[in-house]
Amino acid sequence: MGGNNWRELNASLNATGGWKARGVCLINAFDCDRDFVQVGFSDYQSWGESAGDGSENTVYSAGDDLSWIRGKHNFKMGYLWERIHYNGFGRQTISGQVHGDRRSTSIPGNNTLSTGGGNGFASFLLGEAFSGGTENDRFVGQQWRSHSWYFQDDWKASRRLTVNLGVRYEFTLPPIEELDKWSDFTPDKPNPKADNYPGALRFAGFGPGRENTRTLVGGWYGGIGPRFGLAYAINEKTVLRAAAARSFGVAKTVTGSTHFEGAISIFRPTSTDNGVTPAFKLDQGLPPFPQPPSIDPSFSNGNNTAWWNNEAVRLPESYDWTLSIQRQIGGSWVFETSYNATVGAHLVSGLLRYNQVPFGAFQKYGKDLLGSSITSTDAIAAGITKPYPSFTGSVAQALRPYPQYLDIQTREGHGDKSGHSSYHAMTLKLDRRFAGGLQMQGSYVFSKLITDTDSYMGDNSALDHYNRRLEKSIGRYDQTHNFKLSYIYELPFGTGRKWLASGFASKLLGGWRVAAFHNYISGTPLELTNNNTYNIFNGRAAATVSTYEGWIAPYDNADWKGADRFFQSKSYFGPQPTDRLGNATRYNPKARIPASFGENYSLAKSFHFSETRRLDFRWELFNLLNRTRFDPGIRNLDDPNFGKVQAQLNDPRRMQFGFKLYF
């Protein structure tokens, strides 16, 4: 049994400063005495800081393992229970915030500084808040629970063959919140403030308007992970190994205030007429607003909402298999070649965009009509009607699956487990055990990574939610070739060495050590984007290309003498149509960041004066050949600085000396 707890606290020096008693208080803020009110200006330095945030991260666990040796079998079995708590709080604007903007004192309707004038500080002195807000003390107490068992057998089948067989089973229980504050989007629940159009919030807990349960998502019980491995000695110097397994990741707590809609109130009033009328007057304070909790299925109407999609505790999984042959060569060398593969499924991603308008609507109506009001003559002429009687908004918003919301978010709550990846690699390794003053390790990896999710939670949502096959491409971190070599060599001079074992020459030339590390690694693939938008609320933008060849400008990648750009000019890629989605894959395996070549050396020696006193000297050289890797720059075809080299990716040549005296 065990436990672990670490805490994090971030606070302003202004916190708990007795500001209300000192006459500094924004009326109607949740707690104006907690911190100095945050005051911002459109043209001056802001005042005040966040009242702080923090977290308490507790893990409780209990388990045991049992080993039993019987004949040629070595059985192992065990159990583990874990309960992970995340208790977080945030008081970013609990004492309120005010923004003074020059538009409040400018000529109405003229937002140009040179002709319309205006001054943010003057607006503040007049007590006119262009915008502001407050939020309540956000406390979240998430609890995630899991159980796992395993059983395995190491079977010594013969003198040459050992087989490992095992299975692991794990499951995760539904997540709960300490005060039952969970909320979740439900696609088929009638929304009362959208004329009962499907799609509304539901709330955990007990009482009116709640679901009378502590959780809103089911557990996951499918974590069966078989494992197999073997080692076979072909002869005294050659060993064959193979293994395969299915394994699982972990369930993560949600980020920020996701799935706490209604329990957390973030109020942000803003002037509705560009400063002609203030959002509120400073002496009157913030206008009245609903106080939490708000157990209202329509609470998030007009905003983003979060959906677990019953995937909150579904564990990411990995399928791994490997085959290797290891051979001893002589008395000091060992050579190994292997094939390794990993396929990831149900990875935490950010691809899903459930409230995207289908691309067919863009093809049918065009961007301008999609951006027009649902009550416009063009919309009426096209036969587009309101999704529900009280709807007000654009045509594009009306055509969303859930027009009462902006985005249906699945990433932040880890409800998007749609990611997939595959990695295959051949590895060659050569090791030399320390002998004759030399130790060496070298490896070469030839690999390929294909995926639609390059990082945890993903970088961008899909180009088209309804055709996510477009996301599969070479991986962002794919490096086809990876060669590394390291060695340490003790020069054969001095006491105990082959030459110059005694005398002054022994002391001068003996004890020197040379070490080096070489790496030669392929660059990672590059992407192209543009600024195309379609008014369908899709994710990333993709460029339109006619070829994947020749993207990089024709300069010597090693020297780049006289080069000012990495990519070809924009004209090389042709016009970027705005009536269709771009056809370029997410990354191009034929256009890559310059390869990483590096050589680092060190020279070291110990000068012994007596048995207890010595001086260690070290001289280290990094990037010995002063190789330069340029950053490809901006990869957006619509940016005026597209493709221009603006930075260096690696460090220039550097050396350092060090002395250490022992006495």
With contact defined as beta carbons under 8 Å apart, do 216 and 191 qualify?
Answer: no
Residue 599 pLDDT > 70, yes or no? yes
Percent of the residues in the chain that have a pLDDT greater than 90, as a whole number: 69
pTM, two decimals, is: 0.86
Tens digits of residue pLDDT in 274-295? 888 999 999 999 999 888 999 9
Percent of the residues in the chain that have a pLDDT greater than 70, as a whole number: 96
At 464, the pLDDT band (50, 70, 90 cuts) reads very high
Give the model's pLDDT for residue 561.
Answer: 62
Tens digits of residue pLDDT in 474-533? 999 999 999 999 999 988 877 667 776 666 666 677 778 999 999 999 999 999 999 999
Tens digits of residue pLDDT in 190-232? 999 999 999 999 999 999 999 999 999 999 999 999 999 999 9
Mean pLDDT of the region 586-601: 95
Least confident span in 31-40, 73-82, 395-404, 429-438: 31-40
Give the model's pLDDT for residue 456.
Answer: 78
Least confident span in 109-118, 186-195, 615-624, 635-644: 109-118
Give the model's pLDDT for residue 117.
Answer: 87
Give the model's pLDDT for residue 496.
Answer: 66
Least confident span in 45-49, 349-353, 522-526: 45-49
Mean pLDDT of the region 601-611: 87
| Pairing status of strand 280-281 against strand 128-129 | antiparallel
Tens digits of residue pLDDT in 86-99? 888 888 888 899 99
Phi then psi for residue 634, to 5 deg, are -70, 135
Q: What's the token pair of residue 407?
A: 């985005």
Residue 9 pLDDT > 90, yes or no? no
Phi then psi for residue 513, to 5 deg, are -125, 135
Mean pLDDT of the region 57-73: 95
Give the model's pLDDT for residue 379.
Answer: 95
Give the model's pLDDT for residue 459.
Answer: 66
Rounded mean pLDDT of the chain? 91
Q: What's the token pair of residue 242?
A: 């193979």
Nearest-angstrom CA–CA distance, 462 and 451: 13
- Residue 461 burial class via C-beta count within 10 angstroms: exposed 0-12, middle 13-18, buried 19 and up: buried
Give the model's pLDDT for residue 614.
Answer: 86
Which of 17 and 270 is assigned the larger pLDDT? Answer: 270
At 24, the pLDDT band (50, 70, 90 cuts) reads confident
Highest mean pLDDT among 249-258, 316-325, 625-634: 316-325
DSSP string spanning 8-48?
A: EEE--TTTT--TTTTT---TT-S-TTSSPPEEEESSS--B-
Give the model's pLDDT for residue 536.
Answer: 95
**CB contact set of 29 (below 8 Å; sequence gap of 6+):** 37, 94, 95, 96, 134, 285, 286
Nearest-angstrom CA–CA distance, 186 and 288: 29
Tens digits of residue pLDDT in 551-564? 988 765 555 566 67
Give the model's pLDDT for residue 90.
Answer: 84
